[in-house]
Amino acid sequence: MVLFNFFRPESTSVPARPSPDHLSSLIKTSLHYPETFNHSFHQKSLCVVPVTLLLSNCSQADVDVIIDLRHKTTSPEMLEIHGSFTWLGQTQYKVQLKSMEVSRLQLKACFVHTGVYNLGTPRVFAKLSDQVTLFETSQQNSMPALIIINSI
């Protein structure tokens, strides 16, 4: 019996001048936060959790990035889900990332109830810095970023 090893090298680089179909993968994002957070809602009604948004430029070109933290609601049910927590501070950020640069954005999520929440609501848009265009390309959304808020 022979064991086969299958692997596919991960290539996160986009060519120096990405083609239009690569524009939606210029920026890789990830959220870093505690999986569970304990808070005494009896002592303090607002629970604030630090969250780091990591932005990685996956191309050889400079990229302008816009981060929009406002919850985009498409239905009353989504408003109910996303309305259960809010981002504190600025609602929009603009960052320029050099070739292959990684940047960290410190955010704060605010909760008023216990529960399970999806922090994966930031929308990220990007365009090549030297590109004169009136619109940015929406970057691919990552998986849900679930956090559990417990009361102590």
Distance (Å, whole) CA 117 – CA 14: 33
pLDDT at residue 128 in the model: 87
In a domain, 109, yes or no: yes
pLDDT at residue 15 in the model: 47
Q: Domain tally for the chain?
A: 1
Q: Global pTM?
A: 0.74
CA distances from 16 to 53, 63, 96, 98, 99 (A): 25, 11, 16, 12, 9
Distance (Å, whole) CA 61 – CA 14: 9
CATH number reported for the structural domain that contains residue 105 in this entry:
2.60.40
Whether 83 contacts 112, CB under 8 Å? no
Rg (CA), the chain: 18
Structure confidence by residue, pLDDT tens digits, 75-114: 555 545 544 799 999 999 999 999 999 999 999 999 999 9
In a domain, 29, yes or no: no
